[in-house]
Amino acid sequence: MSALHHSHSITPFGTSNFALIFRVASKEYKKQTGQDLDSHPFATALNNCHSPDAVLNLFREQAQAFDEFRKEDESLMKWLRPTIHILYMFSATLGEGISLPFSPAKVIFTGIGVLLVAAKDVSASHDVLANLFERIQGFLARLEIYSGIPLTTEMADLLGKIMAEVLSILALSTREMNQRRIKKYLKKLVGKTEIEDSLQRLDQLTQEEVRAVVAKNLQVTHNALNFVEELVKSGHSNLHICITSRPEQDIRTILEPLTSFRFSLHDESGQKEDIINYIRSFVRLDRAMRRWRAEDKELFLMMLCRFRWVFCQLDTLRRCIPASIRRALDELPVTLDETYERTLVGIPEEKWEHAHRLFQCLIASVRPLRVDELAEVFAIQFDQGTSCKLLSGWRPDDAEDAVLSACSSLIAIISVGGLRVVQFSHFSVKEFLTSNRLATASVRIASRYHVPLESAHEVLARVCLLILLQLPVDDQVDRDHAKDFPLALYAAQHWVDH
The per-residue pLDDT for 392 is: 82
Q: How far is CA 278 from CA 103, 423, 426, in A?
A: 54, 23, 17
CB 366 within 8 A of CB 204: yes
Structural contact between residues 367 and 494, judged by C-beta atoms closer than 8 angstroms: yes
Give the per-residue pLDDT at 6.
47
pLDDT of residue 282: 75
Determine the longest span between alpha carbons in the chain, in angstroms.
81
With contact defined as beta carbons under 8 Å apart, do 217 and 210 qualify?
no
Those residues of the chain that have pLDDT short of 50 are 1, 6-15, 72-73, 97-98, 182-183, 186-192, 214, 218, 305, 307
Per-residue confidence (pLDDT) for residue 170, from 0 to 100: 86
Q: Give the DSSP per-residue string, 163-213.
A: HHHHHHHHHHHHHHHHTT-HHHHHHHHTSSSHHHHHHHHHHHHHHHHHHHH
Question: Given this model, what pLDDT does residue 451 score?
Answer: 92
